[in-house]
Amino acid sequence: PQLVLQRLTLDDLPALRVPDGFALERCARAFTDTDRAGIADVLGAAFPEMTWTPERVSATLTKDTTCIATFVLRHGASGQIAATATARLDPAFPGAGYVHWVAAHPAYR
């Protein structure tokens, strides 16, 4: 079973507040090697029962046409990826989507 929530519009969302020392960015469709490795690290730490590699990140996020955006939360001057989330289209519901592969590295929870 899954919980499904429906929101008809995103127009009235509150302003996004990112904590000091962090930066939120939308990754380009062609992730860098560093992006893929950082996202794999976060997903692997958040889902230890799964094996995440940069290649799997590429196949799951950038080569899947239902994946329309991947966001990362970076920390500090090094830009280490602390968390990630992906927006996907839902083929079962044309024009609708959902948030998928939401993960935060345990060090940042």
| pLDDT tens, residue by residue, 12-22 | 889 999 999 99
The CA dihedral of 22, 31, 62, 103, to the nearest 10 degrees, is -30
Average pLDDT value for the chain: 89
Token output for 103: 């993960």
Radius of gyration of the chain (CA): 14
Flag the least confident range among 43-47, 86-90, 92-96, 104-108.
92-96
Question: In 36-105, at which residue ranges do the beta strands (DSSP E only) sit?
Answer: 67-75, 80-89, 97-104
51-75: per-residue pLDDT in tens?
999 999 999 988 888 898 999 999 9
Please give the pLDDT value at position 1: 64
The residues, any chain, with a CB within 8 Å of residue 76's CB and separated by 6 or more, are 21
Report which of 71, 66, 64, 56 is spatially closest to residue 94, judged by C-alpha positions: 66
* Selection from 17, 15, 37, 14 nearest residue 27 by Cα: 37
